[in-house]
């Protein structure tokens, strides 16, 4: 921007305020500036005065020509212009852009020169964005990276992808490329990705090597697939019944399926005694297989089951997917290397559980923390008897704990980690990526041997240290995958990391953008970083652009979805601008105020599950209930789900911004610092101007409005009046329904007892997988049976359901909002998105708000450039179709 302004100035004539443009782009802070802030302040001031000065210059066409007839003026113009062009050209060169702005011969017109400047601006701003991302601690790996040698067709290579001249940095090995041409693997998935804002439920339905059988919830498809709308009772009651039934399974649903087996895992004596390291075979002499068919996978599983150990690694892609995709699995035995195309075999991978959960087989990983979660998330795979060489490296206190280091240290192999961040979705996999991937596991068993020996040596032949590594490894295999859950608090967590003091409007914008981004990312199955990188979100929030164009200007390069929905975004920014302007002490202190309020019926399906919410609830922040503080419950580092499920029942979080909150928590004040007290008093002195619009159920103000002033403002400005009436009507309705529901509770408890009984019976009947596998080996096999039944059921059922959903009037009724906690089931979305028209039901549909907007702003057309195939598959929960054309592997 700065340089394009200078450019304008240059074109219109002389000016001498360009001297700071150099500083602007200089990565090194000039002396005399305390810090970056001081520098930026100075820079902005200078740019501002430059702009002012240029605007004051005689305009082309009038006085300018006159002035220019004076040789002195002309000369001055010439020299100043040259100076300016020189400066610009230097900046461009510095950034590796085309820079012959000054060369009058090479460029014919002003236009071309202007394009050059615009291009350079883009490149520079793109860089700035990346650096800001880095500074923000955003993982750069989110950008797709491909190996230098790999050239996919028609790749857009920006000039900044070229090696930085003379920078000599190691990063020149990396090439950041737009992975535009990689087909979305998600489109081929048999079981569609579940991005709903609901907790993750294990994907397991058969449990090999079980000591404790798999709970009926997982084995009984009936229970798993049952949804409230399948019950032939009014919606509110159906929800209630369903909630009750689900409650029974909650513990099972969120437990680690192999908890028991892992708890009872004993490390065998042999594994605690000193091994003779078995040298790896040279890679060139090692048989390599690329596994991308079910037959090969089954054969591999057979082979693995006969091993006493094998090494495993995964490659992962996270940029063009909301949850991430495990894209490759590498397995090495002492004799062979395998690479499994896990994008192709995603729904079949679970058969490896037989080897992966066999306690007699050691699985060696390096740094398995993520792998364990990815295995669960994508394949329902678990690991029993893990050895993590990263943990061993720590125990040995090696200089570094990376795999490269271990490879160097134990095998004198120089690994080429630059492929680590490659776009692992690429198919066919280029040779160099295959090579790289193999290296990740090929040497691992030898390293495992060496490390065990060293761990014993280090500890005077005592197994304590080695045992410790086994234990740590076991802890890792006990990790549970938790889906990112969006809560009303989520944006604050991120905002706090930005360390920027936002005022109320900026904070509101940040919150709305955050919600928009999350919603869209889930819907389109893209990472949030792809939808709208955090630094751009910051910039938009900071600047609160008045025009849609201003939003575009905050983003460089403009993310496709931002471009597409710029009108929606603009509405959000406008909405934020309507907030009363206050300096917001980020609600940090408010966080403390987590107060136990009431026990939610099924906390797991908290208010943020908007699956059953009506359209009005799909405002970015439903003004309905207090948020359950779910963020920590389901966050990555939280694994004690069971305990927390209970805790969370009582945890409700209050609002963050309390502009119109009536002074009800006086006692809070005692612990507030002076400044905050002051602020609080000022805030309290505000009379809520919208009080008259609020439903009078509460003594002071509506509890809805109280907790989210911004949404209140929004509603008032848009449709509050209408809604509050609607709301009251709904409340009335809901009350009625609750009454009905209560009357039928007796029926429910009967139902429950039945389910309990059937559950207990089914427990008795559950065979261990060994048994199941044995049975399957006998002929036909349980799997096939299962498939047969699935297929048999699946064909008539959906059509029946479709009809039902189309016919049943209760489905289109707005669901009651207050009396029940909306809940959701990751698999429950079949008919809603399977082409049925009952879009307005049950499932969290982040799209809905967007549709609202698009209706209003007639922005529909913009959506049209979503190719159907490009659309997210997220909610097509579809048939799991684990369909086998094959038997369960024979043993
Ligand atoms: P690795 O275990 O080193 O093969 O890494 C497995 C996957 O983790 C890679 O495919 C990447 O998706 C991801 N990954 C590894 N290292 C990084 C990193 N430094 N930053 C971000 N992602 C990484
Ligand atoms: Mn790994
Ligand atoms: Zn790897």
Beta strand ranges found along 82-201 (DSSP E): 145-146, 175-176
**Where is pLDDT greater, at 382 or 798?**
382
Of the ligands numbered here, which is closest to the C-alpha atom of 421?
1
Q: Whose CA is nearest to atom 16 of ligand 1?
A: 420
Q: How far apart are CA 760 and CA 546, in angstroms?
A: 62
Long-range contacts of 299-303, Cβ-Cβ distance < 8 Å, separation of 24 or more: 299/889, 300/331, 300/338, 300/340, 300/352, 301/351, 301/352, 301/354, 301/355, 301/889, 302/889, 302/890, 302/891, 303/333, 303/336
User: pLDDT grade, residue 503 (50/70/90)?
Assistant: very high
| Residue-level pLDDT at 502 | 94
Beta strand ranges found along 279-381 (DSSP E): 287-291, 309-317, 325-332, 336-340, 362-365
Q: Is the pLDDT of residue 378 over 70?
A: yes
User: pLDDT grade, residue 232 (50/70/90)?
Assistant: confident
User: pLDDT grade, residue 27 (50/70/90)?
Assistant: low
| Residue-level pLDDT at 251 | 87
Of the ligands numbered here, which is closest to the C-alpha atom of 366?
2
Of the ligands numbered here, which is closest to the C-alpha atom of 420?
1
From the alpha carbon of 422, which atom of ligand 1 is closest? 10
From the alpha carbon of 327, which atom of ligand 1 is closest? 10
From the alpha carbon of 366, which atom of ligand 1 is closest? 2
Q: What are the DSSP calls for 199-241, one per residue?
A: ------S--TT-SSPPPHHHH-HHHHH--GGGSSS-HHHHHHH
| Residue-level pLDDT at 749 | 63
Q: How far is the CA of 380 from the centre of ligand 1 (A)?
A: 20
What residues have a C-beta under 5 A from ligand 3, the ion?
313, 440
Most ligand 1 atoms within 8 A of CB, residue of 369, 370, 371, 421 to mutate:
421
Q: How far is the CA of 316 from the centre of ligand 3 (A)?
A: 8
User: pLDDT grade, residue 843 (50/70/90)?
Assistant: very low
Q: How far apart are CA 346 and CA 334, in angstroms?
A: 25
Both structure tokens of 750: 């009967």
Q: Whose CA is nearest to atom 18 of ligand 1?
A: 141
User: pLDDT grade, residue 846 (50/70/90)?
Assistant: very low
Question: Between β-strands 325-332 and 336-340, what pairing exists: parallel, antiparallel or unpaired?
Answer: antiparallel
Q: Is the pLDDT of residue 583 over 70?
A: yes
Q: How far is the CA of 364 from the centre of ligand 1 (A)?
A: 17
Integer Rg of the chain from CA: 31
User: pLDDT grade, residue 589 (50/70/90)?
Assistant: very low
Q: How far is the CA of 392 from the centre of ligand 2 (A)?
A: 15
Lowest mean pLDDT among 153-167, 260-274, 534-548: 153-167
Q: How far is the CA of 287 from the centre of ligand 2 (A)?
A: 21
Lowest mean pLDDT among 134-138, 493-497, 558-562: 134-138
| Residue-level pLDDT at 746 | 64
Q: Whose CA is nearest to atom 13 of ligand 1?
A: 316
| Residue-level pLDDT at 125 | 72
Q: How far is the CA of 365 from the centre of ligand 2 (A)?
A: 7
Q: How far is the CA of 182 from the centre of ligand 1 (A)?
A: 19
CA distances, 70 to each of 57, 64, 548 (Å): 15, 10, 44
Lowest mean pLDDT among 32-41, 262-271, 498-507, 721-730: 721-730
Both structure tokens of 819: 């009396």
| Residue-level pLDDT at 852 | 39
Q: Whose CA is nearest to atom 19 of ligand 1?
A: 141
Q: How far apart are CA 409 and CA 146, in angstroms?
A: 27
Of the ligands numbered here, which is closest to the C-alpha atom of 388?
2
Most ligand 1 atoms within 8 A of CB, residue of 133, 134, 141 to mutate:
141
Whether the link from the prior residue into 440 is cis, omega within 30° of 0, is no
Most ligand 1 atoms within 8 A of CB, residue of 174, 316, 370 to mutate:
316
Q: Whose CA is nearest to atom 10 of ligand 1?
A: 315
Q: Whose CA is nearest to atom 3 of ligand 1?
A: 420
Q: How many CB atoms lie within 10 A of CB 747?
A: 12
Q: How far is the CA of 419 from the centre of ligand 1 (A)?
A: 9
> Tell me: the pLDDT tens digits for 781-820?
333 333 333 333 333 333 333 333 333 334 334 444 444 4
Q: Is the pLDDT of residue 711 over 60?
A: no
From the alpha carbon of 367, which atom of ligand 1 is closest? 2
Q: 183's torsion region: left (phi>0), alpha (psi -120 to 50) or beta?
A: beta
Averaged over 515-531, what is the pLDDT? Answer: 97
| Residue-level pLDDT at 46 | 86
Of the ligands numbered here, which is closest to the C-alpha atom of 372?
2
Q: Is the pLDDT of residue 288 over 60?
A: yes
From the alpha carbon of 370, which atom of ligand 1 is closest? 8
**Where is pLDDT greater, at 341 or 248?**
341
Q: How far is the CA of 181 from the centre of ligand 2 (A)?
A: 26
Give the chain's count of helices (H) and strands (E). Answer: 39, 10
DSSP state of 160: G
Both structure tokens of 523: 């819907």
| Residue-level pLDDT at 69 | 84
Which residues are bridge partners to 362 per DSSP? 309
Of the ligands numbered here, which is closest to the C-alpha atom of 439?
3
| Residue-level pLDDT at 507 | 96
| Residue-level pLDDT at 632 | 34
Q: How far is the CA of 175 from the centre of ligand 3 (A)?
A: 19
Question: Between β-strands 386-388 and 175-176, what pairing exists: parallel, antiparallel or unpaired?
Answer: unpaired
Q: How far is the CA of 311 from the centre of ligand 1 (A)?
A: 17
User: pLDDT grade, residue 85 (50/70/90)?
Assistant: confident
Averaged over 45-73, what is the pLDDT? Answer: 80
From the alpha carbon of 328, which atom of ligand 1 is closest? 10
Q: How far is the CA of 553 from the centre of ligand 1 (A)?
A: 32
User: pLDDT grade, residue 43 (50/70/90)?
Assistant: confident
Q: How many CB atoms lie within 10 A of CB 570?
A: 21
| Residue-level pLDDT at 585 | 56
Lowest mean pLDDT among 114-123, 441-450, 506-515: 114-123
Q: How far apart are CA 331 and CA 313, in angstroms?
A: 7
Q: How far is the CA of 473 from the centre of ligand 2 (A)?
A: 14
Of the ligands numbered here, which is closest to the C-alpha atom of 329?
3
Both structure tokens of 551: 């939003």
Q: Is the pLDDT of residue 403 over 70?
A: yes
Residue 566 parent element (H or E): helix 566-577
| Residue-level pLDDT at 738 | 60
Most ligand 1 atoms within 8 A of CB, residue of 311, 420, 422 to mutate:
420
| Residue-level pLDDT at 752 | 64
What is the average pLDDT value for the chain, to the nearest integer?
70
Lowest mean pLDDT among 421-435, 481-495, 627-641: 627-641
From the alpha carbon of 317, which atom of ligand 1 is closest? 12
Residues with CB under 6 A from ligand 1: 139, 141, 313-316, 367, 420-421, 424, 440
Both structure tokens of 130: 């990346």
> Tell me: the pLDDT tens digits for 662-688?
333 444 444 555 666 655 555 554 444
Q: Is the pLDDT of residue 364 over 70?
A: yes
Contact 449, 276 (CB under 8 A): yes
From the alpha carbon of 403, which atom of ligand 1 is closest? 3
> Tell me: the pLDDT tens digits for 725-778?
455 566 667 666 666 666 666 666 666 666 566 555 554 544 444 455 455 545
Q: Whose CA is nearest to atom 22 of ligand 1?
A: 141
Of the ligands numbered here, which is closest to the C-alpha atom of 368?
2
Q: How far is the CA of 331 from the centre of ligand 2 (A)?
A: 11
How far separated are the first and last CA of the chain, in Å rounded? Answer: 68
Nearest in space to 635 (alpha carbons), one of 494, 786, 822: 494
Q: How far is the CA of 547 from the centre of ligand 3 (A)?
A: 45
Question: Between β-strands 386-388 and 362-365, what pairing exists: parallel, antiparallel or unpaired?
Answer: parallel
Both structure tokens of 363: 């699985």
| Residue-level pLDDT at 722 | 39
């Amino acid at each position: 921007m700065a340089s394009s302004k200078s450019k304008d100035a240059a074109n219109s004539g002389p000016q001498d305020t360009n001297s700071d443009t150099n500083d602007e782009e200089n990565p090194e802070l000039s002396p005399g500036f305390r810090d970056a802030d001081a520098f930026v302040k100075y820079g902005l001031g200078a740019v501002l005065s430059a702009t002012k000065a240029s605007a004051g210059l005689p305009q082309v066409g009038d006085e300018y020509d006159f002035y220019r007839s004076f040789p002195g003026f002309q000369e001055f113009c010439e020299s100043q212009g040259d100076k300016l062009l020189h400066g610009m050209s230097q900046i461009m060169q510095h950034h590796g852009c085309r820079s012959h702005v000054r060369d009058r011969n090479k460029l014919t017109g002003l236009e071309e020169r202007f394009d050059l400047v615009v291009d350079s601006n883009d490149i520079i701003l793109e860089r700035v964005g990346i650096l800001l991302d880095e500074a923000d601690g955003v993982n750069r790996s989110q950008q797709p990276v491909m190996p230098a040698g790999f050239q996919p067709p028609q790749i857009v290579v920006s000039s900044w992808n070229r090696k930085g001249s003379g920078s000599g940095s190691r990063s020149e090995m990396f090439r950041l490329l737009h992975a535009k041409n990689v087909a979305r693997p998600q489109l081929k998935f048999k079981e569609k990705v579940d991005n709903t804002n609901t907790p993750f439920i294990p994907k397991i339905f058969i449990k090999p090597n079980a000591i404790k059988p798999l709970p009926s919830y997982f084995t009984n498809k009936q229970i798993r697939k049952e949804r409230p709308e399948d019950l032939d009772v009014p919606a509110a009651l159906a929800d209630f019944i369903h909630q009750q039934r689900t409650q029974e399974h909650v513990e099972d649903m969120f437990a680690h399926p192999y908890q028991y087996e892992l708890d009872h895992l004993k490390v065998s004596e042999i594994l605690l005694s000193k091994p003779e390291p078995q040298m790896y075979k040279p890679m060139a002499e090692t048989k390599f297989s690329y596994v991308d068919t079910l037959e090969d996978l089954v054969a591999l599983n057979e082979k693995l089951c006969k091993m006493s150990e094998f090494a495993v690694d995964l490659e992962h892609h996270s940029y063009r997917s909301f949850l991430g995709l495990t894209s490759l699995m590498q397995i090495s035995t002492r004799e062979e290397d395998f690479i499994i195309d896990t994008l192709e075999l995603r729904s079949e991978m679970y058969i490896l559980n037989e080897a992966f959960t066999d306690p007699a087989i050691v699985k060696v990983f390096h740094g398995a923390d993520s792998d364990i979660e990815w295995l669960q998330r994508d394949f329902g795979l678990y690991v029993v008897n893990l050895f993590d060489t990263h943990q061993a490296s720590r125990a040995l206190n090696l200089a570094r704990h990376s795999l490269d280091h271990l490879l160097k240290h134990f095998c004198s192999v120089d690994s080429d980690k630059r492929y680590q961040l490659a776009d692992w979705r690429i198919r066919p996999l280029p040779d160099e990526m295959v090579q790289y991937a193999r290296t990740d596991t090929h040497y691992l068993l030898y390293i495992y041997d060496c490390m065990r020996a060293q761990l014993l040596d280090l500890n005077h032949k005592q197994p304590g240290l080695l045992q410790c590594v086994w234990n740590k490894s076991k802890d890792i295999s006990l990790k549970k995958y938790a889906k990112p859950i969006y809560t009303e608090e989520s944006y604050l967590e991120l905002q706090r990391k930005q360390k920027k003091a936002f005022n109320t409007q900026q904070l509101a914008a940040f919150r709305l953008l955050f919600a928009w981004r999350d919603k869209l990312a889930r819907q389109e199955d893209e990472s949030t970083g792809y939808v709208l990188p955090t630094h751009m979100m910051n910039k938009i929030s900071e600047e609160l652009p008045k025009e849609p164009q201003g939003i575009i200007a905050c983003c460089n390069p403009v993310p496709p979805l931002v471009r597409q929905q710029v009108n929606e975004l603009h509405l959000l920014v406008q909405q934020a601008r309507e907030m009363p302007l206050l300096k917001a002490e980020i609600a940090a202190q408010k966080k403390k105020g987590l107060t136990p309020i009431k026990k939610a019926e099924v906390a797991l399906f908290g208010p943020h599950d908007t699956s059953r919410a009506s359209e009005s609830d799909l405002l970015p922040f439903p003004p309905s209930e207090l948020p359950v503080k779910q963020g920590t419950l389901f966050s990555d580092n939280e694994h004690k789900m069971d305990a927390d499920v209970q805790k969370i029942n009582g945890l409700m979080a209050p609002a963050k911004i309390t502009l119109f909150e009536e002074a009800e928590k006086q006692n809070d004040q005692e612990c507030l610092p002076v400044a905050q007290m002051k602020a609080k008093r000022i805030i309290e002195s505000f009379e809520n101007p919208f009080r008259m619009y609020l439903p009078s159920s509460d003594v002071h103000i509506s509890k809805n409005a109280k907790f989210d002033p911004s949404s209140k403002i929004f509603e008032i400005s848009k449709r509050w009046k209408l809604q509050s009436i609607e709301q009251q009507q709904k409340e009335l309705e809901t009350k009625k329904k609750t009454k009905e529901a209560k009357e039928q509770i007796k029926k429910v408890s009967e139902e429950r007892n039945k389910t309990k009984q059937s559950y207990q019976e089914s427990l008795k009947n559950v065979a261990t997988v060994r048994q199941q596998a044995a049975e399957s080996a006998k002929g036909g096999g349980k799997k096939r049976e299962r498939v047969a039944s699935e297929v048999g059921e699946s064909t008539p059922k959906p059509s029946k359901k479709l009809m039902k959903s189309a016919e049943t009037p209760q489905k289109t009724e707005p669901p009651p909002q207050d009396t029940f906690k909306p809940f959701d089931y990751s698999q429950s979305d079949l008919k809603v998105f399977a082409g049925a028209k009952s879009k307005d039901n049950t499932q969290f549909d982040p799209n809905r708000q967007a549709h609202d907007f698009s209706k209003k702003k007639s922005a529909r057309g913009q959506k049209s450039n979503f190719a159907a195939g490009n659309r997210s598959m997220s909610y097509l929960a579809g048939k799991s179709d684990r369909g086998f054309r094959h038997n369960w592997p024979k043993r």
